[in-house]
Amino acid sequence: GTGSNVLSALQDLFWLSKSKVEKQLQIISVLQWVLTFLIMGIACTLILMYILCTDCWAIAALYLAWLVFDWNTPKKGGRRSQWVRNWAIWRYFRDYFPIRLVKTHNLLTTRNYIFGYHPHGIMGLGAFCNFSTEATGVGQKFPGIRPYLATLAGNFRMPILRDYLMSGGICPVNRDSIDYILSKNGSGNAIIIVVGGAAESLNCTPGKNSVTLKNRKGFVKLALRHGADLVPVYSFGENEVYQQVIFEEGSWGRWVQKKFQKHIGFAPCIFHGRGLFSSNTWGLLPYSKPITTVVGEPITIPKIDNPSQKEVDFYHSIYVDSLIKLFDKYKSKFGLPESEVLEVN
């Protein structure tokens, strides 16, 4: 009896230790991604410049030569790596929140797609985990579909960062890149565009479900030009993982943010999450709040080489209605009251 009690106690201690180790691995996996998002591009640029001034300058020179040769690769679908997409670190990243991907309809491999991802949040954590890694099983849930998460083209001018992003299937959110993937890369491609972009990130805050969409019609025009079906995607919980200081319209803070957005492409946000060692302190780590990404029903789009504004407006209105219906159908299932309304700005 005493022996079995000791064994039981050791097992309890073992599992407690394993649980703590897994939690620390989850924190490390999220921290490395946050640091990648915030500083990897600038850090790698500075390191490369420093190496050029040392005895190891030849290494930096060789990489720069390769960079010139490889400059247009991001515009041609990039260079994804299934090995990188399947890293164990992404599973720890997923379990930290946790993040889930919900499939509602099948997607035909004979079609191409543009996913409209909403909302942006501060860092688009759900978009990255679901579509740039295999942690939530996007490849198994949508067999034969190749997802490409579109992000700022400026990221692909940064050494090392560009290669890291491409390995996950991330591409620039510009016309050249999207045109190539939808017209010269066969079928079964899905480009994920965070439609609200930087403007939407300025208004994300816990408890608020709003999207910047009324005047965002470029993605609809692209879909019509290529005959790519539109798919609404809503991520419940994306706005819950960070606290942000919201500047009122007309304030100096909002003026600065809009100037950055106009001239640089992103808007600086003042935000905080939890600390590295305690959830009761402030830091850069997001809060451990569940994020559930629901992929809606595809909207069949005809191929029109030069769509009129009337045609763009028509399919845009269908898309907005589909997104609202998707939100209303699943909101109560993922913790929101029936009275919650999706605000479309």
Condensed to tens digits (0 to 9), the pLDDT of residues 221-241 reads 999 999 999 999 999 999 999
Condensed to tens digits (0 to 9), the pLDDT of residues 292-334 reads 999 999 999 999 999 999 999 999 999 999 999 999 999 999 9
Torsion angle of alpha carbons 245, 249, 253, 254, nearest 10°?
100
**Would you state the pLDDT for residue 12?**
56
Give me the phi and psi of 281, to 5 degrees please. Answer: -115, 165
pTM value surpassing 0.75:
yes
- Which residue range is the domain that position 136 belongs to? 2-344
Measured CA to CA, the distance from residue 36 to residue 250 in angstroms comes to 32
Torsion angle of alpha carbons 284, 286, 287, 289, nearest 10°?
180
Q: How many domains does the chain have?
A: 1
